[in-house]
Amino acid sequence: MHVPEAMKKADRYDCLYVSYDGLLEPLGLSQVIPYLKGLSKNGIRIIALSFEKCSCLKWKTNIRYKDEELSGFGIKWIRLRYHKHPSLLATGFDVLVGLVVSLFLTQKYGIKILHARSYVAGLIGLFLCKIRRAKFLFDMRGFWVDERVEAGLWSKKCITYRLARYFERGLLQGSNVNIVLTEAARKELMKSEKASIRCPYITVIPTCVDLSHFKSSARGVKYDFVCLGSVSTWCMPYEIVNFFRYATSVMPDTNFLILTKESEFFRRILRNTKLNASRISIVSASYEEVPDYLAHCKAGLAFYRSGYSRKGCCPTKVGEYLACGLPVIINSGVGDSEMIISGERVGVIIEDFSKSEYCRAFSEICKMLGEEEALRRRCRLTAEKYFSLEEGTKKYLTVYQGLIKK
């Protein structure tokens, strides 16, 4: 791809994009870099500031390759080291370092927009917009504070929770634009106790999928069901195992695929449940390899712990399943999934994780798979309608152009 030389060697940039997630991690590869490339191709000059884990910083070849790739799009990539322990102090240190580096970058390159992905990066953007005359875009993603409480990581009585809630109000009030993942989250921000926050302009941009990478092309089915991504914290691995157990009791030759970086974690769960794992394949696949594996599957699973915070959740795997032509079995209460899956007839919604619901879901998905070609087309069209990276980039571009004009 040809990129104008002026863009490659820009001495002025429009946006500083700050992500506390590393660009070399799965989320960075699927949910940050594609957007940055799309915006850059539309004339937005970007500096990406990310916090990379030590394990990723050791991949010198990967870093060099990714750096060259981003440079080819006129994107300047600044890498900082992510610190984990002790949690609160480490995060505070990262925010301080990020703030100093960001201040230097905004002064040197005349930054117009501070785009912060999620809460920790948001603190950098919030402090910085008070120092520098720049527009602040808070990409909220989900209800992070509520997620931490519901996961049992924080108590509502602890000082960390109170500080986080205080800064959440500051982020929502101090930004020029808020981005959320679901219509359910947007509605939630406009009502109940959050109405007093006086949110500025809110727009919905879901976790989108690169439809040129995730394609609907069956290549001989090897697996009946697949579960993609993380299997810890929110994704209820024991419930996934129980679904497997039920499915094999009804249809003994059913095969399952687990695509996760946490393969050893899932193997321990299988050992604990004493389930016959002979029909379960556990694979640690790269982002580039995932579409090839999905092409050999019939349907995807997405089980999530229920809770208030799930209103703001838009699972990446759902869009990826649909883009590859796979119907989805997902539980209710997860963002806009119920409206999309039921409305477009591309999967089954379960109300709970009981045997009776597994029975209903298994029966309904088998009926759906009877119209395989029509179902695959419907799934792909649904991905194009709701989760297109191209459409998501257009929405971001509209927001950026509005902020630049102001």
Reported as a single tens digit per residue, the pLDDT across 70-87 is 999 999 999 999 998 888
Give the model's pLDDT for residue 10.
58
pLDDT at 190 over 90: no
Residues 158 and 272 in one domain: no
Higher pLDDT, 59 or 247: 247
What is the C-alpha separation between 184 and 100, in angstroms, rounded?
A: 36
Whether the upstream peptide bond of residue 327 has omega within 30° of 0, thus cis, is no
Higher pLDDT, 349 or 287: 349
Give the model's pLDDT for residue 283.
94
Give the model's pLDDT for residue 186.
92
Q: Compute how many other C-beta atoms are within 10 angstroms of the C-beta atom of residue 21.
A: 21
Q: Express each pLDDT in 277-310 by its tens digit.
A: 889 999 999 889 999 999 999 999 999 988 999 9
Give the model's pLDDT for residue 198.
61
Could you tell me the pLDDT band of residue 173, with boundaries at 50, 70 and 90? Answer: confident
Residues 377 and 399 in one domain: no
pLDDT at 334 over 70: yes
Report if residue 289 sits inside a domain: yes
Residues 27 and 85 in one domain: yes
Average pLDDT, the chain: 90
What is the C-alpha separation between 301 and 329, in angstroms, rounded?
A: 5
Angle at 354 (CA atoms; ends 350, 358), nearest 5 degrees: 55
Report if residue 216 sits inside a domain: no
Could you give the number of structural domains in the chain?
Answer: 2
What is the C-alpha separation between 30 and 255, in angstroms, rounded?
A: 27
Look up tokens 């029909």; give the residue: 279
CATH number of the CATH domain containing 280? 3.40.50.2000
Report if residue 214 sits inside a domain: no
Instruction: Please name the helix (run of DSSP H) or strand (run of DSSP E) that holds residue 384, with its range, or none.
Output: helix 372-386
Residues 10 and 151 in one domain: yes
Could you tell me the pLDDT band of residue 55, with boundaries at 50, 70 and 90? Answer: confident
Which residues span the domain enclosing 202?
A: 5-207+388-405
